Amino acid sequence: MLGSLVFAISINYFLIPTRLGEGGVTGLTTIAYYTLKIPTYLTNFVLNGLLLLVGLKFLDRKTILRSLWAVVWLSIWLKLPVVYTYHTNQTLIPTMLGGVLTGIAMGLILNAGGSIAGSTVLGRILNKYFGISIGSATLFFDLAVAIPAIFIIGFENMLLTVLELYISAKITNMMLARFGAKRVLQVISSRYSDIAQAISDNLGQGVTVVQASGFYSKTDRPIIYFICTPREMARIIPLLKEIDSSALIITENVRSVRANDLYRLL
């Protein structure tokens, strides 16, 4: 609901007053408003509702229901009267504000397991089956609508729309990386057994010990491998240093992690 509200503010208070476009279904919504004066809330609900029906074949029911919830509330927020119309000759300002607000809105909605349907449904499908980040996949489909809008909003506003979409995609990816990020930690230490036990006790999950050997030292050096959140990593690394100050700790970012609870306990 909050993400939908922020999205509606971006559309009603920054994009439409500046006559900017958007991507995906929202872009089609603005075009319908500019050309035929069709209310944005109506176009949003009808077109996104149809896309959610398509998404039923590819996404789980929970995602579809949460997306429907977001779409319904977006239509409600779009229908509310605009309290104040923002006007400025500096079109770059509403472009950047619209992009930031849209990115925040998408980050909130996607992090909650939903979407605004439209290109985000297609973005979730690409993320699920091909591992492409949702923000980047959504940007691709958004541009497919935004660029042809040049015939409606003009060349300059089309370029500003592309800039707004780029900012939105960057903010979306940043928010998803911040809220849903995972880290892989690999630890090499002679006290691997103590370290593995400490990780298991503190995080309440299992760890994987990979049997390995050092080529130079010709000794066995098992590698501890586990996945955690950034917050858990900040808590566990000082503990690892306390157990073995000379331990080699390697950290990596993870784009996507899928597993059931049973696997985490192994």
Both tokens of 139, joined, read 């940007």
Helix axes 134-146, 92-111, angle to 10 degrees: 130
Place of tokens 């630890």: 187
Each of the 266 residues of the chain gets a pLDDT tens digit; together they read: 999 999 999 999 999 988 888 888 888 899 999 999 999 999 989 988 888 887 777 777 887 888 889 889 999 999 998 888 777 788 889 999 999 999 999 888 888 877 777 777 777 777 777 777 766 777 788 888 888 888 999 999 999 999 998 898 889 878 877 666 678 888 988 888 888 888 888 877 778 888 888 777 778 888 988 888 777 888 888 888 888 888 888 888 775 555 554 344 44
The CATH T-level fold of domain 182-264 is: Alpha-Beta Plaits (3.30.70)
Q: Would you kindly state where each structural domain of the chain is located, as residue ranges?
A: 2-180, 182-264
C-alpha–C-alpha distance, residues 249 and 84, integer Å: 54
Q: What is the pLDDT of residues 116-143, one digit of tens each?
A: 777 777 777 777 777 777 667 777 888 8
- Give every CB contact of residue 32 below 8 A, 6+ residues apart in sequence: 38, 40, 43
* H or E segment and range at residue 185: strand 182-188
Q: What is the pLDDT of residues 5-43, one digit of tens each?
A: 999 999 999 999 888 888 888 888 999 999 999 999 999
- Give every CB contact of residue 78 below 8 A, 6+ residues apart in sequence: 8, 11, 12, 39, 40, 41, 44
Tell me if the pTM is above 0.75: no
